A and B are shown apart, each in its own frame.
Chain A
Amino acid sequence: MREGMFRNPSGCAISGIFSKSGKRFSGRQIIESIAVMHERSNGLGGGFAAYGIYPEFKDHYAFHIFYDDIYAKRECEEFLEDHFDIVSFSQIPTRKLPEIKDTPLIWRYFLAPLPAKLADSQQDEGEYVIRCVFRINTGIKGAYVFSSGKNMGVFKAVGFPEDVGRFYRLEEYEGYCFTAHGRYPTNTPGWWGGAHPFALLDFSVVHNGEISSYDANRRTIEMYGYKCTLQTDTEVITYIIDYLHRKQGLDLKEICSVIAAPFWSVIATRPQKEREELEYLRCVFDTLLINGPFSIIVGFEGGMMALNDRLKLRSMVVGEKDDMVYVASEEAAIRVIQKDLDRVWSPKGGEGVIVTLEKGSA
Chain B
Amino acid sequence: MAAFDIYPEYEIVRNNERCTNCRVCEKQCANGAHIFLTDKNRMAADDDKCVNCHRCVAMCPVRALKIVKTNHTFRENLYWTGKSIKEIKRQAESGGVLLSSMGNPETYPVYFDKILLNASQVTNPSIDPLREPMETRVYLGSKPDKVVRDEKGRIKIDLPLHIKLSMPVMLSAMSYGSISYNAHESLARAAAEAGIMYNTGEGGLHEDLYRYGKNTIVQVASGRFGVHSRYLSNGAAIEIKMGQGAKPGIGGHLPGSKIVGDISKTRMIPEGSDAISPAPHHDIYSIEDLSQLVYSLKEATGYTKPIIVKIAAVHNVAAIASGIARSGADIIAIDGFRGGTGAAPARIRDHVGIPIELALASVDKRLRDEGIRNRVSIVAGGGIRSSADVVKAIALGADCVYIGTAALIALGCHMCRSCHTGKCNWGIATQREDLVKRLNPDWGYKRLVNLLNAWKHEIMEMMGGMGINAIESLRGNRLMLRGVGLNEKELEILGIKHAGE
Contacts and interface: CB of A to CB of B under 8 A. Distances in A.
Interface of A: 7, 9-11, 186, 209-217, 219-220, 222-224, 248-250, 254, 261, 263-265, 276-277, 279-281, 283-284, 286-287, 289-293, 310-311, 313
B132 to A, nearest CB: 6
Interface stretch (B120-128, B249-257, B485-493): B120-128
B116 to A, nearest CB: 15
B263 interface: no
12 contacts: A213-B473, A216-B477, A219-B476, A249-B149, A265-B133, A280-B157, A286-B472, A286-B475, A289-B472, A289-B473, A292-B467, A293-B125
A216 B470 CA distance: 12
Given A276-B157, A313-B124, A212 B468 contact: yes
Given A212-B466, A293-B125, A284 B144 contact: yes
Interface stretch (B50-58, B135-143, B211-219, B234-242): B135-143
B258 interface: no
B477 A213 contact: yes
A261 B478 CA distance: 22
Given A249-B147, A277-B155, A286-B139, A293 B124 contact: yes
A314 B449 CA distance: 37
A229 to B, nearest CB: 16
B326 interface: no
A39 B124 CA distance: 18
Given A277-B155, A280-B155, A287 B473 contact: yes
Interface of B: 120, 123-125, 127, 132-133, 135, 137, 139, 143-144, 146-147, 149, 154-155, 157, 159, 162, 368, 371, 373-374, 466-470, 472-480
A283 B143 contact: yes
B476 A216 contact: yes
Nearest to B471: A286
A276 B368 CA distance: 28
B147 A213 contact: no
B368 A219 contact: yes
A283 B120 CA distance: 26
Given A280-B155, A289-B470, A250 B147 contact: yes
A287 B472 contact: yes
Lowest 9 CB-CB distances: which A-B pairs, in order? A213-B473, A291-B473, A212-B467, A215-B479, A286-B472, A216-B477, A210-B124, A9-B123, A215-B477
Contacts of B469: 291, 310-311
Contacts of B133: 263, 265
B258 to A, nearest CB: 42
A292 B124 contact: yes
Interface centre among A211, A213, A222 (most CB of B within 10 A): A213
Contacts of B374: 223
Contacts of A264: 135, 137
A212 B465 CA distance: 10
Contact of A248 (B135, B147, B474): B147
A310 B467 CA distance: 12
Contacts of B472: 216, 286-287, 289
B479 A214 contact: yes
B401 to A, nearest CB: 17
B157 A219 contact: no
A281 B473 CA distance: 15
Nearest to A310: B469
B125 A287 contact: no
A162 to B, nearest CB: 24
Contacts of A220: 373, 476
Given A263-B135, A291-B473, 12 more contacts: A186-B123, A213-B477, A215-B476, A215-B478, A216-B477, A220-B476, A223-B371, A264-B135, A264-B137, A284-B159, A286-B472, A291-B470
